[in-house]
A and B are shown apart, each in its own frame.
Chain A
Amino acid sequence: MSEPAYQSERRSEVRQTTPADRISWVRERATRTCAGWVSNVSPSGIALIAPTRDRPTPGERIELTFDPESRAPRYKRVQVVRTAPYDRFFSVIGCMEDFAEERAGNLREAGEQAG
């Protein structure tokens, strides 16, 4: 079965390795916050390194928190698209930006500004 077009396009994107910033993330409708590190970013996604025992499965939506210890943490919703082993204890979690959520968020904000 061939993969969706957006997936193959994403695969060809340049991934920029980043400093291993601490990140925390939480599954949709879950309360337990998990931890990880940023691995790389691309125009449409982000890859994390997280403990294998906590790793989300492809298709799951998670919310990322950048700078979780700061006074003004920043959030981003993403969808997990693939996971791969990093070492014996950790996995790389490939995530795609959740455009549906983003559109909804933008519409909400546009409505708030208009209203």
Chain B
Amino acid sequence: MPVLMQDRVSPPHAKARLVGRDVIHRWEGNPIIQLEDIPFRCNTVFNAAAIKFHDEYLLLVRVEDQRGRSIFALAQSEDGYRFVVAPEPVMTPAEEGLFATYEACGIEDPRITLLDGTYYVMYTAYSHYGPRLALARTDDFQTFERIALISEPVNKDGALFPKKINGHYARLDRPNVGSTGNIWISYSDDLIHWGGSEVVMTTRPDHWDCSRIGASAPPIETEQGWLEIYHGVKEAAAGPLYRLGAVMLDLENPAHVLGRAAIPILTPREYCERVGDIGNVVFSCGAILEEQTREVKMYYGAADTCICVGTAKIDALIKRCFEQEDSE
């Protein structure tokens, strides 16, 4: 008996979706941006900054070109789930001046912060001297004005606070020591010169974040403190395993940790998170708090090959910060 073509195509809803084990609930339509969505030639797409701009959701997407350098492209959406990527990159490595020297190998992992009415993009400038932090600002997300290179190498994962702390600009960052790194905080009066650095939190032996940690999304202000979604790495036999966690920092003194979740809020589990250019990676550079629904939309790069979105109630994330074990 011949096999009908329709029999070979099970209905799309047949794929079972069970309740996940993570606080973050993945959107069923993940990945939201993959190579097919990029209208220009490139190698891969991942790690996106996120912001609500007027009535749109914007992602500043890290795209690796075919040469191997990273650049930024803009993706727009009305609902925060379905994004259209602009036909050309909006920010590429500088070609002249000081920035050209330190962006020779690309620009990476942007984080957008709205501070005093200005949109700032903190990103990693990458060169053969190593990664260092850079800062730019924009009004329209079409053109970007570079402000300064704001750290020495090796430093990355810079995230600017959306408010001044005790009159000073503040940022989280991750200076590396060998193959390990912890989350630090630094302060500035002009966004160019930074100091007052101190360590905020360190890796934890025997935990999922035992090898190195770094800020992911820019801190989100809550009544309980600054909610920071961070990434943690565990060097496993098969390579590094990147997961996402949550920590609550003191509003007045963000160097003081109020609570840190014992377990991750997101772990690579789905196929697109497991398999890609760098497998077993979930890595966020941006999250948007929906004020009305109290829901956080967290955007994350998966396996350095695509971008996904997941959601969680902010109260669940806050609660998780103060739990020392998995209570569910």
Contact = CB atoms under 8 A, between A and B. Distances in A.
The answer to whether A and B belong to the same complex is yes
Interface of A: 16, 18-24, 33-35, 37-38, 41, 46, 49, 51, 53, 66-67, 69-70, 74-77, 86-90, 97, 101-102, 105-107, 109-110, 113
A69 B2 contact: no
A52 B3 CA distance: 35
Contacts of A24: 36
Nearest to A49: B82
Interface in B37-91: 37, 76-79, 81-84
Contact of B13 (A19, A75, A113): A19
A18 B12 contact: yes
B12 A21 contact: yes
B9 A22 contact: no
A105 B214 CA distance: 54
A89 B6 contact: no
Given A35-B36, A69-B271, A41 B11 contact: yes
A110 B4 CA distance: 10
Contacts of A46: 12
Which bracket fits the contact residues of B? 20 to 34
A76 to B, nearest CB: 5
Nearest to B83: A89
B15 interface: yes
Given A53-B84, A102-B4, A41 B29 contact: no
Contact of A69 (B17, B37, B84, B272): B272
Interface string B1-33: 011111011111101010000000001111100
A21 B78 contact: no
A41 B3 contact: no
B12 A90 contact: no
Contacts of B4: 102, 106
B2 A113 contact: yes
A89 B5 contact: no
B12 A23 contact: yes
5 contacts: A18-B13, A20-B28, A22-B29, A69-B272, A90-B82
A113 B5 CA distance: 15
B84 A51 contact: yes
Contacts of B3: 106, 109
Contacts of B9: 66, 74-76
Most chain-B Cβ atoms within 10 A of its Cβ — which of A19, A107, A109? A19
A56 B78 CA distance: 21
Contacts of B5: 76-77, 101-102, 105-106
B29 A19 contact: yes
A74 B10 contact: yes
Contact of A18 (B11, B81, B84): B11
Contact of A109 (B2, B27, B34): B2
A34 B247 CA distance: 39
Contacts of A89: 76-78, 82-84
Given A19-B28, A22-B29, A97-B6, A34 B36 contact: yes
Contact of A74 (B8, B13, B34, B76): B8
